[in-house]
Amino acid sequence: MTLTLPSYPQPDERGRFGRFGGRYVPETLIPALDNLEAAYREAKIDPGFLSELERLLRDFVGRPSGLYLAARLTEHAGGAKIYLKREDQNYTGAHKINNCLAQALLAVRMGKRRVIAETGAGQHGVASATAAALLGLDCVVYMGEEDMRRQELNVFRMRLLGAEVIPVTSGTGTLKDATNEAIRDWVTNVRDTFYILGSVVGPHPYPAMVRDFQSVIGEETKWQLKALEGREVPDVIIACVGGGSNAIGIFAPYAYLPDGQRPRLIGTEAAGEGVETGKHAASVAGGRIGVLHGAMMYLLHDHEGQITPPHSISAGLDYPGIGPEHCLYSETGVAEYVPVTDAQAMEGLQLLTRLEGIIPALESAHAIYHAVQLAPTLSPEQIIVVNLSGRGDKDVAEVMRLQAKAEDTPGNAERQEVLA
Amino acid sequence: MTAVESRGVARIRAAFEKARSEGRAAFIPFMTAGYPSTAEFPALADELLARADLLEVGLPYSDPLGDGPTIQQASEQALAGGTSTRGTIELVRVLRTRHDKPIVIMTYVNPIYAVGPREFMRLAQEAGVDGLILPDLPPDQDIEIADLAAEYGLAVTFLIAPTSTPERIRLVAQACTGFVYAVSVTGVTGAREGTALSEVPAMLALARQHTDVPIAVGFGVKDAQTAHEVAALADGVVVGSAFINAVREGRDVPTLTNTLADGCVR
Ligand SMILES: Cc1ncc(COP(=O)(O)O)c(C=O)c1O
Q: Which of B72, B84, B187 sits opposite A304 (nearest CB)?
A: B84
> Does residue B88 sit within a domain?
yes
pLDDT in tens, A47-58: 999 999 999 999
pLDDT in tens, A25-41: 999 999 999 999 999 99
| Closest approach atom of ligand 1 to CA A248 | 11
Asked if pLDDT for residue A408 goes beyond 80, the answer is no
> Does residue B53 sit within a domain?
yes
- Annotation marks residue A96 as catalytic: yes
- The average pLDDT across A207-211 equals 98
Residue nearest to atom 14 of ligand 1 (CA): A316
N-term to C-term CA, chain B = 36
Mutate to test the interface with A, among B86, B90, B106, B113 (most CBs of A within 10 A): B113
- The average pLDDT across B226-230 equals 96
> Does residue B243 sit within a domain?
yes
pLDDT in tens, A326-365: 999 999 999 999 999 999 999 999 999 999 999 999 999 9
Q: Is B158:B137 a contact under the CB 8 Å cutoff?
A: yes
The DSSP secondary-structure symbol of A301 reads B
pLDDT in tens, B52-90: 999 999 999 999 999 999 999 999 999 999 999 999 999
- Rounded to 10 degrees, the C-alpha dihedral A9/A13/A17/A19 comes to -140
Q: Between helices A206-214 and A216-229, what is the axis angle to 10°?
A: 30
> Does residue B164 sit within a domain?
yes
Query: pTM (2 decimals)?
Result: 0.96
> Does residue B2 sit within a domain?
no
**Domains of chain A and any CATH numbers:** 24-61+96-205 (3.40.50.1100), 67-92+214-407 (3.40.50.1100)
Asked if pLDDT for residue A420 goes beyond 60, the answer is no
Cα–Cα nearest to A178, from A135, A250, A128:
A128
Asked if pLDDT for residue B3 goes beyond 80, the answer is no
Q: Identify the pLDDT of residue A1.
A: 54
The DSSP secondary-structure symbol of A321 reads B
- Annotation marks residue A245 as catalytic: no
A214 vs A235: CA distance, rounded Å: 21
Distance from the Cα of residue A31 to its chain's centroid: 27
Q: Is the CB of A53 under 6 A from ligand 1?
A: no
Asked if pLDDT for residue A416 goes beyond 80, the answer is no
pLDDT in tens, A63-82: 999 999 999 999 999 999 99
> Does residue B111 sit within a domain?
yes
Strands A383-388 and A81-86: parallel
> Does residue B1 sit within a domain?
no
Q: Which of B47, B53, B56, B235 is catalytic?
A: B56
Q: CB distance A26–B65 less than 8 Å? A: yes
Q: Identify the pLDDT of residue A413.
A: 53
- Determine phi and psi for A129, rounding to 5 degrees: -65, -35
Q: Is the CB of A207 under 6 A from ligand 1?
A: no
Starting at the edge strand found earlier in the chain, the sheet holding A295-299 runs A16-17, A20-21, A295-299, A288-292
Which pLDDT band, with edges at 50, 70 and 90, does B196 fall under? confident
Q: Which of A27, A30, A180 sits opposite B65 (nearest CB)?
A: A180
B86 vs B59: CA distance, rounded Å: 9
- The average pLDDT across B191-200 equals 78
B50 vs A268: CA distance, rounded Å: 56
Determine the distance separating the centroid of ligand 1 and the alpha carbon of A201, expressed in angstroms: 12
pLDDT in tens, A374-405: 999 999 999 999 999 999 999 999 898 888 88
> Does residue B144 sit within a domain?
yes
* Largest pairwise CA distance in chain B: 46
> Which chain B positions have a beta carbon within 8 Å of A25's beta carbon?
65, 136, 138
Q: How far is A307 from chain B (nearest CA, A)?
A: 6
B106 vs B88: CA distance, rounded Å: 10
Q: Identify the pLDDT of residue A145.
A: 95
- Nearest Cα residue in chain B from A288: B114
B167 vs B186: CA distance, rounded Å: 18
Domain membership of residue B210 as a residue range: 7-263
Which pLDDT band, with edges at 50, 70 and 90, does B195 fall under? low
Q: Which of A52, A87, A118, A325 is catalytic?
A: A118
What value of ipTM does the predicted structure carry? 0.96
CATH number reported for the structural domain that contains residue B236 in this entry: 3.20.20.70
- The average pLDDT across A191-215 equals 98
Average pLDDT, chain A: 96
DSSP letters for A206-248: HHHHHHHHHTHHHHHHHHHHHHHHS-S--SEEEEEESSSHHHH
Structural domain count, chain B: 1
Which of helix, strand or coil describes residue B23?
A: coil
